[in-house]
Every structure is written in C-alpha cells, then in structure tokens.
C-alpha cells in the first residue's frame, strides 16, 4: 500500500469485519481488548470501528495520552515556572489548556506570563538564541515518541554552548505503565492493541514480558482503520489458537529493535526515575530525568520548583478512565460540567484524550450498546 485511501478501503474493511465476526463466534467469553494509545482511541471513534464489532468484544481505552497522565501538581509546577518574569516558557499546544488546581497555562498566558506554543523543542532552542537575556524553559512531555527529539535538542544545546535553555522534564515510559495495568486486580484484559508511534522508537522486543510473564497477546498497530481492524483480527486469531505472542501489524514502520539512534540519544541524556501518573499513582522507573552531566539543561536543578502533590477535582474521574476501569460517559461530569471548552480533567483536553474522542465522535447508540448496566448517571453541575 502506498496511499492513505488504501488504508480506508470500505470493501477491505468489510472483509476484515466479517473475519473478526467469525473468530469472535469461536470465543465463548466477553473479551476486553485495550488500545494503549490515545491516537488509536480517536481513530476507533472517528471511523466507527467499535460500533460494528460483535457484542462480546469490548475495547478498553488505555493511558497512552501523555498530557492526560500528567498529574495536576506537575501542571501547577509548570505554571510556577512561567510566572517567573525572567522566563519564556515554551510548550506543545496540547498542554496549554490542561487545568491545574487553579488555572491553566493558557489562562496564565492571558494574565501576562510569556508562554509560547512551539512545534518542536528545537523551536525553543532557537528562541533561547534569539533572547540571550531571558531563560527559556521547554515543557518536555510525552512518551518515547517525543523523548528523542528532546534528547537531541539538549545535545545540540550542549554542542552550541547555549546557557539559557533548559527543560522541565515530564517524559514517561510506556512499558512500566503497561506492567502497572497488568498488575491491577480491578482490570482484567485479554489482549492489547500496542502503540505504533512509541514502538517506532523502542521496537517490539520490550513487549515480550506481556506474553511471557502475563500470558496476554499484543499486536503493535498502525492508526488507519484497516490497521486497527487487522490488529483486532490478529489478536482474536491468537486467542482462538491459544497463542500469546508479540505480533507487529505496523511492520511498514516498526522494527524489532526500534530506532537505535533515537534510543542511544535517550540513554545518553536521560536516566529513569519514579514518576507520578494521573490515576496510576507513583510507578517506579516510569519517567525520565536529565542526567547529571547535562544538569545545566534541567529546569528542576536550575530553578526552585515546588514539586506539588495535588489531588484531582473530586467530580473528575479521569484517573479511572485512564486505567480503563470506567468509560468517559460513565463520569458524572462528562459532557455537562466538563467539555472541551470548559474542561475539568485532562482527558477532555488533549487531542489523544479518551473523553475528547467520545465527546467529538461518540454516538449515544454505541454507548448504550456497550454499557452493560444500561444506567447512566445524572449530570452533575460543578
């Protein structure tokens, strides 16, 4: 296949859907399959994939949204940084509207903080060169997908001796998060649709523990409709054949060993540390910190940061949604007090958030079909 249209071919999708139906009829149980990445969640709802799956296949939405898993305290720490009049704070657009305990970065910008949206950490490095009398801080966040670009930027900053550039590091790792989910007794999963973009960097080998230690199948998937259909078909085939393997549907871009240059850069610049995840709590070795030899680029060393621990809004159930325990519409404030225009939780803000996907593409018929209780909570005003 060469063109996007080929990955959206209705006839091929219909053929795969029929094969999925045949396989599902051979499985005498209710299946719970987690798509880890928020990009998959949005594709599933945009193209109506969940609507045409058989009733015994339930898709669970995982924590693969880097903005969503950011705890509220780290957002408040970022806002503390940007309120320093000597700092130009730079960030990806997804983080601008994520609510902290009192305000968001977008609201802080409206109140006078110098916060600039960038498309790459290299944009931040350029701003640092253009503003030698200011300190430029980049809000580094994301999974292994975005970590290499941050690492390469720090290496370039070191090579060019840029002294007024640093990073507030909030990069997180997918493998420890998956292990935490698998260890969660409240969540029983039958398989995973694995994250394609992360796997382009880390490869397929790191997922072996899922099949070996937890005896669950996983298929690394692309993001187009036929990618996801084929990945679900591959998972069901494993289940029917009683296999548990790591399979790679996204082999046009994902290699078993990943991107060695990207991995080398991450290992050179970053070390692992315990990190707090929204909904999942503290997970050992699940985040990156900047190594001591590059401490001049670490905002947490360069500036005083409160390192706050702040609980989510009591009405928001974003944490339970990220764990896959609840569906977005089961949150009492979903679509009422919490909307993309007035978000209470991060899941409603990000372009990869499950709540945002449901709000934008969700259909009440799908929700009714998938909700086994058939009871919806009364809207709650906040």
Query: Tell me: the pLDDT tens digits for 356-381?
Result: 888 888 755 455 545 544 443 443 33
Under 8 Å between Cβ of 59 and 327: no
Do the domain assignments include residue 106? yes
Number of domains present in the structure of the chain = 1
CA distance 194 to 99: 28
Q: So what's the pLDDT on residue 186?
A: 77
The CA distances from residue 232 to 13, 17, 32, 180, 222, in Å, are 12, 9, 11, 23, 11
Lowest mean pLDDT among 8-12, 19-23, 198-202, 319-323: 319-323
The CA distances from residue 178 to 36, 130, 182, in Å, are 8, 41, 6
Q: So what's the pLDDT on residue 259?
A: 97
The CA distances from residue 358 to 29, 55, 339, 351, in Å, are 26, 19, 11, 11
Q: What would the pLDDT profile of 299-351 be if each residue is shown by its tens digit?
A: 999 999 988 787 777 888 888 888 888 888 888 898 888 888 888 888 888 87
Q: So what's the pLDDT on residue 74?
A: 93
CA distance 191 to 71: 27
Do the domain assignments include residue 27? no
**Rounded to 5 degrees, what angle do the CA atoms 285, 101, 123 make?**
65
CATH number of the domain that residue 98 is part of: 3.40.50.11740
Residue 216 pLDDT greater than 70, yes or no: yes
Q: So what's the pLDDT on residue 370?
A: 52
Q: So what's the pLDDT on residue 373?
A: 43
Do the domain assignments include residue 131? yes
**What domain range is 287 assigned to?**
72-173+258-302
Beta-strand pair 270-277/281-290: antiparallel
Do the domain assignments include residue 189? no
Do the domain assignments include residue 93? yes
Q: So what's the pLDDT on residue 371?
A: 54
Do the domain assignments include residue 182? no
pTM: 0.89
Do the domain assignments include residue 1? no
Q: So what's the pLDDT on residue 367?
A: 55
Q: So what's the pLDDT on residue 278?
A: 85
Phi, psi of 95 (to 5 degrees): -85, -10
Residue 382 pLDDT greater than 50, yes or no: no
Do the domain assignments include residue 11? no
Q: For the purposes of burial, counting CB atoms within 10 Å of the CB of 83, is it exposed (0-12), middle (13-18) or buried (19 or more)? A: middle
Helix H or strand E encompassing 126: helix 121-130
Stretch 51-74: mean pLDDT, rounded? 89
Stretch 275-299: mean pLDDT, rounded? 94
């Amino acid at each position: 296949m060469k063109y996007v249209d080929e990955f959206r071919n209705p006839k091929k999708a219909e053929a795969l859907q029929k094969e999925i139906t045949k396989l599902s009829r051979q499985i005498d149980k209710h299946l719970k399959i987690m798509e880890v990445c928020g990009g998959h969640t949005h594709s599933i709802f945009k193209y109506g994939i969940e609507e045409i799956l058989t009733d015994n296949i339930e898709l669970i939405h995982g924590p693969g949204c880097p903005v969503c898993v950011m705890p509220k305290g780290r957002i408040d720490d970022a806002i503390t940084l940007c309120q320093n009049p000597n700092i130009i704070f730079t960030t990806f657009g997804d983080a601008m509207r994520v609510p902290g305990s009192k305000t968001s970065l977008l609201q802080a910008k409206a109140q006078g903080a110098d916060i600039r949206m960038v498309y790459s950490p290299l944009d931040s490095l350029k701003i640092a060169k253009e503003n030698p009398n200011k300190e430029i801080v980049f809000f580094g966040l994301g999974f292994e997908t975005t970590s290499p670009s941050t690492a390469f930027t720090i290496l370039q900053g070191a090579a060019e001796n840029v002294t007024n550039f640093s990073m507030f590091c909030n990069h997180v790792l997918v493998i420890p998060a998956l292990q935490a989910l698998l260890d969660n007794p409240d969540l029983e999963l039958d398989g995973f649709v694995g994250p394609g973009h992360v796997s382009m960097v880390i490869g397929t080998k790191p997922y072996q523990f899922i099949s070996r230690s937890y005896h669950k199948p996983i298929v690394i998937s692309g993001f187009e409709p036929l990618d996801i259909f084929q990945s679900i078909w591959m998972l069901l085939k494993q289940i029917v054949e009683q296999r548990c393997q790591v399979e790679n549907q996204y082999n046009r871009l994902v290699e078993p060993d990943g991107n060695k240059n990207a991995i080398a850069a991450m290992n050179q610049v970053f070390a692992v540390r315990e990190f707090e995840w929204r909904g999942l709590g503290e997970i050992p070795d699940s985040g990156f910190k900047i190594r001591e030899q590059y401490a001049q680029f670490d905002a947490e060393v360069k500036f005083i940061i409160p390192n706050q621990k702040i609980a989510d809004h009591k009405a928001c159930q974003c944490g339970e949604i990220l764990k896959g325990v609840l569906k977005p519409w089961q949150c009492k404030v979903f679509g009422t007090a919490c909307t993309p225009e007035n978000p209470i939780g991060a899941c409603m803000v990000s372009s990869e958030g499950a709540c945002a996907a449901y709000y934008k593409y969700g259909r009440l018929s799908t929700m009714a079909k998938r909700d086994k209780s058939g009871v919806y909570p009364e809207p709650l005003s906040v």
